[in-house]
Structure 1
Amino acid sequence: MQRSNCWQGQDRRKVMIVDIVLDVDGRDNKEMETSYFFDIALMPYLSGHERTEKEWAKLFFDAGFTDYKITPAFGLRSLIQELTCNKG
């Protein structure tokens, strides 16, 4: 039986992330420019990129989380909370 990554954590734990959540439709050009700048800055060091909410959701569900909450709170950055781990 293969268990999800979050299964290894303790019960009632919350994972909190502060990162950019791309919203292509709702952002103005300056915000998109800044997001793309971060993408370019991350590429050579971390092979990273900024994610849309759909991409974040796939990442969470693939890791075994069944619920998440995204709260825009810090300019371009949002508070992302993974709330429920599927321990099955």
Structure 2
Amino acid sequence: MTKLQWLLHDWGDEESVKILKRCKDAIPSREKGGKVIIIEMAIEEKKKEDDKETMETQLCCDMMVLGLFHTGKERSVEEWKKLSLDAGFTHFNINPVLGLRSLIELYP
């Protein structure tokens, strides 16, 4: 199992795919318990009136990451799914936990 926390938001999609491919190569098969765990923010694309503050905070964090790292960004659930597929993972699971953070599991 490989764990990444608050790392991939520093990188653009191309670099993130390279990092995830290396992680995939370093772990055993899914049958042998291999998986990558990522703890990052997953921006909700659907606006919820009752959760306006969360949406504003997520977008503010996205702007901050863009300003600090230029190619980095906070990603939506769909963007996380695309990254995982582009890196060669076959199964993707995401669960919101710990406030704005989500637990993202990728399986080979």
TM class by shorter-chain length?
Answer: 0.7 to 0.9
TM alignment of 1:1-88, pairs within 5 A:
5=21, 7-11=24-28, 12-25=33-46, 27=48, 28-46=51-69, 47-83=71-107, 85=108
Distance 1:7 1:40, change over 3 A: closer
Q: What is the percentage of aligned positions where both structures have the same residue?
A: 36
Deviations 1:20-71 (A, max 9, x none): 1111225421011101111111112222111111110100000000101111
Report the number of matched residues.
81
Q: With CA pairs under 8 Å and 6+ residues apart, which has the higher RCO, 1 or 2?
A: 1
SS in 2 for 1:48: coil
Of Structure 1 and Structure 2, which has the larger fraction of its residues in strand? 1
Letter in 1 for 2:59: Y
Query: Structure 2, unaligned stretches of length 5 or more?
Result: 1-19
Q: Which structure has the larger Rg?
A: 1
> Considering only aligned residues, what root-mean-square deviation do their CA atoms show, in Å?
1.9
Query: Structure 1, unaligned stretches of length 5 or more?
Result: none
The answer for the alignment partner of 2:5 in structure 1 is none
Task: Find the aligned partners of 1:7 and 1:81 in 2 and give their Cα distance.
Answer: 12
Of Structure 1 and Structure 2, which has the larger fraction of its residues in helix? 2
Q: Which runs of 4+ in 1 moved over 4 A?
A: none
Distance 1:10 1:18, change over 3 A: closer
SS in 2 for 1:65: coil
